[in-house]
Amino acid sequence: MKSVRDHYDDFLGPVYSWILGDFENARKRNVALFDELDLAPRQGAVAVDLGSGPGCQSLPLANIGYHVLAIDFCADLIDELAEHAGDLPVRTVCDDLSAFRSHLSEPPDLIVCMGDTLVHLHDTDTVDRVLDDVCESLNPGGRFIYSIRDYFSNVPEGAERFIPIRSSDSQIFTCFLD
């Protein structure tokens, strides 16, 4: 069985932004979320985006004043993020997100981990270690924002285990929960 990283390198990385749909709409949703959460960084505040992908969270954070460390293990997505970032204060790192502490030069004020990033980690021990590292790394009063889909409240059965994600005239992307 392939690793999650191999799956991204061999399959998901090149089509990830297409799967997301319109990158600008995804970015705008995070602008609205971060505005709703009233993120007002101090001068020089640092944010870390764990599993940054193409930058749907990193760019809005940089736009509101954070210096962002964006880390993802998929080189295609990190390259895309660097292209989107332009002159914004975003430092991209291609590495496993569980190694984020080795890339910190100072304690961050904010760490985000959005989407289903945590469920892509190898096992629950790794998730526990990452969460411990998050808590130990943040500046006093710092914030951790994460999101994850609820796979347990209503476990899909039968055909409902197939989740259509996106389609075009030439391709279909569907997830299967098992």
Domain limits for position 107: 4-34+43-148
> Are the C-beta atoms of residues 112 and 59 closer than 8 Å to each other?
no
Total structural domains within the chain: 1
pTM here is 0.85
- Each of the 178 residues of the chain gets a pLDDT tens digit; together they read 577 666 667 666 666 666 677 777 888 888 999 999 999 888 999 999 999 989 999 999 999 999 999 999 889 889 999 999 999 999 999 999 999 999 999 999 999 998 878 777 778 898 899 999 999 999 999 999 998 766 667 777 888 777 777 778 887 777 776 6
Q: Which residues 6+ apart lie within 8 Å of 172 measured at CB? A: 164, 166
Q: How many Cβ atoms sit within 10 Å of the Cβ of residue 10? A: 10
Amino acid at 172: I
| Residue 78 located in a structural domain | yes
CATH of the domain at 89: 3.40.50.150
Match 């291609």 to its residue by tokens. Answer: 94
